[in-house]
């Protein structure tokens, strides 16, 4: 049974990423844009460009996201890159498909935006929970925190960088489009991120990985090589396995997929992942 589950876990994750991307594109095309609101992050930048220039929205999304996708693949690994590409392809295809599907939400702008933000958040949560991404702001924040870690040795949350990035997007909407669009879009951000945080256990926060292993040297060496992270090692005692080591490491949400691949290559390890709001030094 375990082998059966493991065999279909990865294909299922791609299916969920595709579904989440289609939900997000449906929300943007059929609910948000018709009600004077936009998506956030790099998708929001693409929509601003589309509104100002009239260029095809799908092309704008692809062009804006491409640099972040390349950097994310290099820094976060091939598996992340493939899943991000799958999500982006379905998202951009969905933007084109839903353009020609007649749909009208006959309600007030406020209610429409709340409903659209909830669908967008649910779609993004599906994508993030399965190791994908369709927005460059998360990749950008992850790159910045990684660079800060490499320079200072300290782990930083993605929250402040994401808030700053999206604040710039909404200021641009306020200045370049109009005030109502900026306020509606801010409401979308609040609703969508609330849904995402609820179902991804605060993806923007630091994650603590606790690993129980009999071969701590090999595990630590792999973590250093693949993730460039340091670890804390403590002696521990198992009721059945006897003496072993407890390895503790702090990573970002987007490094979890690479960490899981790494641990799968080391047999006999037991690990847990918990959310850390803040690290005091």
- The residue whose two tokens read 């967008």 is 120
Residue 281 within a domain: no
Structure letter (DSSP) for residue 34: G
Q: Are residues 180 and 270 in the same domain?
A: no
**CATH number of the domain where residue 267 is located:** 3.30.70.120
Give the separation between CA 159 and CA 175, rounded to whole angstroms.
24
- CB neighbourhood size of 70 (10 A): 13
User: Quick one: pLDDT band at residue 281, thresholds 50, 70, 90?
Assistant: low
Give the separation between CA 188 and CA 135, rounded to whole angstroms.
15
The residue among 138, 123, 175 whose CA lies nearest residue 41 is 138
Q: Are residues 9 and 121 in the same domain?
A: yes
Q: Are residues 60 and 96 in the same domain?
A: yes
Structure letter (DSSP) for residue 101: S
pLDDT at 37: 86
pLDDT of 214-244, one tens digit each?
Answer: 888 899 999 988 888 888 899 887 777 778 8
Answer for the pair 249, 202: CB distance below 8 angstroms, yes or no. no
Average pLDDT, the chain: 85
Which of 178, 200, 222 delimits the end of a domain?
Answer: 200
Q: Are residues 127 and 72 in the same domain?
A: yes
Given a cut of 60, whether residue 3 has pLDDT beyond it is no
Say what percent of the chain tops pLDDT 70: 95
Q: Are residues 175 and 248 in the same domain?
A: no
Q: Are residues 224 and 112 in the same domain?
A: no
Lowest mean pLDDT among 153-162, 183-192, 231-240, 243-252: 153-162
Highest mean pLDDT among 45-49, 77-81, 250-254, 276-280: 45-49
Q: Are residues 193 and 233 in the same domain?
A: no
Over range 85-101, report the average pLDDT: 90
pTM above 0.95, yes or no: no
* Helix (H/G/I), strand (E/B), else coil: 204: coil
Residue 159 within a domain: yes
- Kindly provide the b/e burial profile for residues 94-108, where b requires at least 16 CB atoms within 10 angstroms of the residue's own CB: bbeebeeeeeeeeee
Over range 46-73, report the average pLDDT: 90
Structural domains in the chain (count): 2
Q: Are residues 59 and 160 in the same domain?
A: yes
Q: Are residues 56 and 162 in the same domain?
A: yes
Residue 78 within a domain: yes
pLDDT of 8-40, one tens digit each?
Answer: 777 888 999 999 999 999 999 998 888 888 888
Sheet hosting strand 232-238, strand order edge to edge: 232-238, 242-251, 206-213, 270-276
Q: Residue 269 is part of which domain span?
A: 206-276
Residue 210 within a domain: yes
Which of 200, 230, 257 delimits the end of a domain?
Answer: 200
């Amino acid at each position: 049974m375990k082998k059966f589950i493991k065999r279909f876990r990865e294909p299922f994750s791609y299916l969920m990423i595709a579904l989440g991307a289609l939900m997000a594109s449906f929300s943007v095309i059929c609910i948000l844009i018709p009600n004077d609101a936009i998506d956030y992050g790099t998708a929001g930048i693409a929509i601003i460009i589309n509104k100002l220039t009239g260029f095809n929205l799908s092309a704008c999304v692809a062009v804006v996201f491409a640099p972040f996708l390349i950097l994310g693949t290099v820094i976060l690994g091939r598996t992340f890159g493939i899943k991000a590409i799958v999500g982006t392809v379905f998202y951009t295809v969905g933007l084109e498909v839903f353009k020609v599907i007649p749909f009208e939400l006959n309600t007030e702008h406020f209610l429409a935006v709340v409903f659209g933000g909830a669908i967008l958040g649910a779609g993004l949560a599906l994508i993030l929970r399965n190791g994908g991404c369709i927005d460059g702001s998360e990749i950008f924040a992850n790159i910045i925190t990684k660079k800060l870690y490499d320079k200072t040795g300290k782990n930083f949350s993605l929250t402040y960088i994401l808030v700053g990035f999206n604040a710039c997007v909404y200021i641009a909407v306020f200045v370049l489009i109009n005030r109502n669009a900026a306020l509606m879009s801010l409401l979308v951000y609040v609703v969508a991120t609330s849904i995402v945080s609820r179902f991804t256990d605060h993806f923007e926060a630091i994650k603590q990985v606790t690993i129980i292993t009999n071969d701590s040297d090999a595990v630590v060496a792999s973590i250093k090589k693949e993730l460039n992270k340091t670890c804390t090692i403590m002696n521990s005692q198992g009721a059945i396995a006897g003496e072993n080591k407890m390895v503790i490491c702090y990573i970002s949400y987007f490094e979890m997929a690479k960490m899981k691949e790494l641990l799968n290559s080391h047999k006999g390890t037991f690990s847990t992942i918990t959310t850390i709001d803040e690290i005091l030094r």
